[in-house]
Amino acid sequence: MAIMRLGRVEVRCPNWEKSIDYYKRVIGLIETAREEDRVYLKAWDEHDHHSVILKKADSAGLEHLAFKCEFASDLDLYEEKLNNIGIYTERVPAGVRIAEGEAVRFTLPTGQIVELYHKIEVVGNGLPLVNPDPWPDGLLGMHPTRLDHLLIAGEDVDGATKIFTDIFDFHVSEQLVAGEKNDQTIAKWLFKTNTAHDIAIIKGPQNKLHHFAFWLDEWVELRNAADIMAKNDVMIDAGPTRHGITRGTTIYFFDPSGNRNEVFCGGYITYPDSATITWTEDTIGKAVFYFERELNERFTTVVS
Amino acid sequence: METFKIEVNGKEILVKENETILNASIRQVGNIFVGCKGGACGMCKIKITTGETVDGIYSKSALPDEEYASGYRLACQSKPTTDMSILPIRERNKVLR
Ligand code: FES
């Protein structure tokens, strides 16, 4: 039994038409379905029906995030574990959204809605499973291979972290701490796959999205991504640069509705026995933006 | 080409036709905080003392209707239709360390 990966994010987009065009043409996601108030998208190398859902809404932000479980029975198991520690869960029936099976839904102490699911329609990555070429024709924009991770904000970072470590067997790859005894949590980076993080949680206003990130295979692709951003007048927040935390290379930028995106590349791999790395508050600049060694106020205060 | 004069906290900047107040402020160091530029974070919020605007699409969580009605705008979504005088709610971005 296990969560396998971050499966999807559903993001609210007030600037509806522009946001659809941006995610398809500028980011380069592929549309797999559409209804009145939702557009379903996938990155090219993902096999499942969608990993990003755009939702037409009055306010920006994260509608929900979801993890894909290996077995259908994982839903019962996690539901029981969550209920045992007093976390209320409900079932989202199959068919509420296109191509999705049933899900278990609960709310994190940081306010975000999380779903756990196993079933989703598989559409493939555009390549054959026998003797495939490395990539399909017709890719647009930055064309990341996949959705990689997200950073959420809220008040009780330790409480949310405990759910991930104790219930879902995530591990903490890195943490940023403050206080004289370094005992106050600013942020935690958590993994379940063997990347440096699948989700990170930062202290901040409750139930907010800091960013969600797409994976690029190579550092040079970040330069191309930056070119595409400049060409399309995308608001760049920071980068291209490198993180001290995770060692990944990065650009942060905003979608037309003001939700922050990231393209992320590299970083180390992790194992369940990887030791946790700690950064103290006095090195926060280097920890987040390794080259600049300083943070901009926008990065720390802007959330959606 | 029509341009409008905007007094931002006592300093005059010029806004070109079809330019947002925030972009004009960035060009002329008007010192309005630059956030997401997408109407979501509310960091570029301004209060109108005098003048009128037309506005793009923004998140209601960043600028609720009551605030709009009482003269607040998001500089990243707001274009002047008259000369104006405004006050930024949050001043320019700082580098933290
Ligand atoms: S900069 Fe974020 S709302 Fe204007």
Question: C-alpha distances in angstroms, A168 versus A3, A47, A69, A82, A189?
Answer: 7, 23, 10, 10, 14
Radius of gyration over alpha carbons of chain A, in Å? 18
Q: Please name the member of B34, B56, B59 whose beta carbon is closest to the beta carbon of A60.
A: B59
Residue B1 has pLDDT above 90, yes or no: no
- Which DSSP helix (H) or strand (E) runs through A126? none
Q: What confidence category does residue B17 fall into, taking pLDDT thresholds of 50, 70 and 90?
A: confident
* pLDDT value of residue A33: 98
Mean pLDDT, all residues of chain B: 94
d(CA A304, CA A261): 11
Q: What confidence category does residue B70 fall into, taking pLDDT thresholds of 50, 70 and 90?
A: very high
Which structure tokens are listed for B62? Answer: 């960043």
* pLDDT value of residue B97: 63
* pLDDT value of residue A1: 65
Q: SS3 letters for A193-222?
A: CCCCCCEEEEECCCCEEEEEEEECCCHHHH
- Order of strands across the sheet that contains A248-254: A236-242, A248-254, A260-266, A208-215, A146-154, A199-203, A184-191, A171-178, A277-280
Phi, psi torsion values for B22, nearest 5 degrees = -65, -45
Pocket of ligand 1 from Cβ distances under 6 Å: A 258; B 35-37, 39-44, 62, 74, 76
List residues of chain A with CB under 8 Å from any CB of chain B. 14-16, 18, 58-61, 235, 237, 254-260, 284-285, 293-298, 300-304
Helix, coil or strand: residue A239: strand
Residue B93 has pLDDT above 90, yes or no: no
Phi, psi torsion values for A268, nearest 5 degrees = -85, 170
Residue B60 has pLDDT above 90, yes or no: yes
Note the ipTM here: 0.94
pLDDT average, residue stretch B57-64: 97
Write out chain A's pLDDT in tens, 304 residues: 699 999 999 999 999 999 999 999 999 999 999 999 999 999 999 999 999 999 999 999 999 999 999 999 999 999 999 999 999 999 999 999 999 999 999 999 999 999 999 999 999 999 999 999 999 999 999 999 999 999 999 999 999 999 999 999 999 999 999 999 999 999 999 999 999 999 999 999 999 999 999 999 999 999 999 999 999 999 999 999 999 999 999 999 999 999 999 999 999 999 999 999 999 999 999 999 999 999 889 998 999 9
Nearest to A247 by CA among A217, A203, A288: A288
Q: Hey, what's the torsion of the CAs at A253, A257, A259, A262, to 10 degrees?
A: -30
* pLDDT value of residue A96: 96
pLDDT average, residue stretch B11-30: 94
> Could you tell me where the DSSP H helices lie in A234-303?
284-288, 297-301
- Order of strands across the sheet that contains A52-56: A30-35, A38-42, A52-56, A3-13, A61-69, A113-117, A103-107, A90-92
Annotated active-site residue A149? The verdict is: yes
Radius of gyration over alpha carbons of chain B, in Å? 12
Q: Which amino acid is at A302?
A: V
**Chain A residues with CB-CB distance to B57 below 8 A:** 14-16, 18, 257
Annotated active-site residue A197? The verdict is: yes
pLDDT average, residue stretch B29-43: 94
d(CA A68, CA A115): 9
- Which DSSP helix (H) or strand (E) runs through A225? helix A219-231
Instruction: Name the residue of chain B whose CA is nearest to A303's CA.
Output: B41
* pLDDT value of residue B30: 87
Q: SS3 letters for A18-71?
A: HHHHHHHHHHCCEEEEEECCEEEEECCCCCECCCEEEEECCCCEEEEEEEEECC
Which structure tokens are listed for A180? Answer: 């004289």
Q: How much is the pTM?
A: 0.96
Annotated active-site residue A180? The verdict is: no
* pLDDT value of residue A292: 92
